[in-house]
Homo-oligomer: A and B are copies of this chain.
Amino acid sequence: MTRAVVTEADIDEIALGAAVLGTGGGGDPHVGSLMAKRLIRLHGPVALRAVDELTDDDFVVPIGGIGSPSVSVERIQAESELLGALDAIERAVGRTPTALMPIEVGGGNSMIPIAAAALAGLPVVDGDAMGRAFPEAQMVTFHLAGYGPGTTVLVDHHGNEVVSRPVDGAWSERLARAVTVEMGGGATMIDYAYGGAVVRECAIPGTLTLAKRIGRVLRGHGSDGRALRDDERIAALCADLDAVRLFDGKVSDLQRAVEGGFTRGAAELDGVGTDRGSSFRLDFQNEMLLGRRDGILAAVTPDLIAVLDLATGVPITTESLRYGARVAVVGIPCDEKWRTEMGLKTAGPSHFGYDAEWVPIEHLAARREGEVAR
């Protein structure tokens, strides 16, 4: 992305990379990509603003979908929802948005702000507040830095509009989730809308560009310009991201339910190839959050766990995971902001009720290598 615009041609690559960073959640990127492409075709390319280009006069509005990914694949957000949400935040706060931003780069929520930016004639910020996807509204870098959700907006396809001023991020999540369930399990949300200075302080920069780079690798464009064979892509991706290939396996068991506005469940994998004879368990709540190899912790939130199609490298969401699918599980180190005490308290394993302590994915990998070598 050397030009500072997002064109229709960029969308599929960004969406593909965003699906990897979405670790199975963040809404369906395919549905969002269709919307973004259509709106760029209609209204022209979207200007891309680097995080460090934001000025104090900017009013940056993160916009995306909230709810269960299982609902988001069934229902495309309407243009009227996006414009309604932008109109509501402007009315409620009395400031006109100057740029939109993904609240999470992962999954479809990378696409919604691009689509909305095309529609509203605004730039989109090359950054986000997670560097991945997370299932709850307070799991954002703004929260880690002590900023509240501010004025939040929820709009649904019926035309209902709910503007809240929750006292903190946890209350924002609680109220928004209850309203979203009532709205039918999915809604358009704006929260953590802040001036340019706060966004410069808090946002994880360059994540749309990162998503595009990941997408390009998975489409066979090596970082050295060389074309990659299908079976080279996952390895190239791991090299590019300092990621760990945790497991190759076949889905042998799958529990999944939509409850409380989330897609929750677990998948069991039987090893294939060099992992034959081992098993791997994945736990998810919208996103993949915990991976255990033969009962031993292999990766855990806030580090990223991506599930990719073994043959093509295409990422698989928690919603589209199917019995019998052959997949590679890849662990990616999360942004340093999540590796703090506040980061781990907010999105570490204990928050989700998992009986595991966070260990950096690279340490877990080194541990295992040590054991395998012994």
**B-binding residues in A (CB < 8 A):** 92, 158-167, 171, 174-175, 177-179, 181-183
Contacts and interface: CB of A to CB of B under 8 A. Distances in A.
A183 B166 CA distance: 11
A165 B171 contact: no
A66 to B, nearest CB: 14
A236 B155 CA distance: 52
Contacts of A167: 158-160
A182 B171 CA distance: 9
A166 B175 contact: no
A164 B161 contact: yes
A151 to B, nearest CB: 9
A127 to B, nearest CB: 29
Q: Closest 7 A-B residue pairs measured CB to CB?
A: A178-B182, A161-B165, A178-B178, A163-B163, A162-B164, A159-B167, A160-B166
29 contacts: A92-B92, A92-B163, A158-B171, A159-B167, A160-B164, A160-B165, A160-B166, A160-B167, A160-B171, A160-B175, A161-B164, A161-B165, A162-B162, A162-B163, A162-B164, A162-B175, A162-B179, A163-B163, A163-B164, A174-B182, A175-B179, A175-B182, A175-B183, A177-B182, A178-B178, A178-B179, A178-B181, A178-B182, A179-B179
A178 B163 CA distance: 14
Nearest to A182: B178
Nearest to A161: B165
Nearest to A167: B159
Contacts of A163: 92, 162-164
Nearest to A162: B164
A187 to B, nearest CB: 11
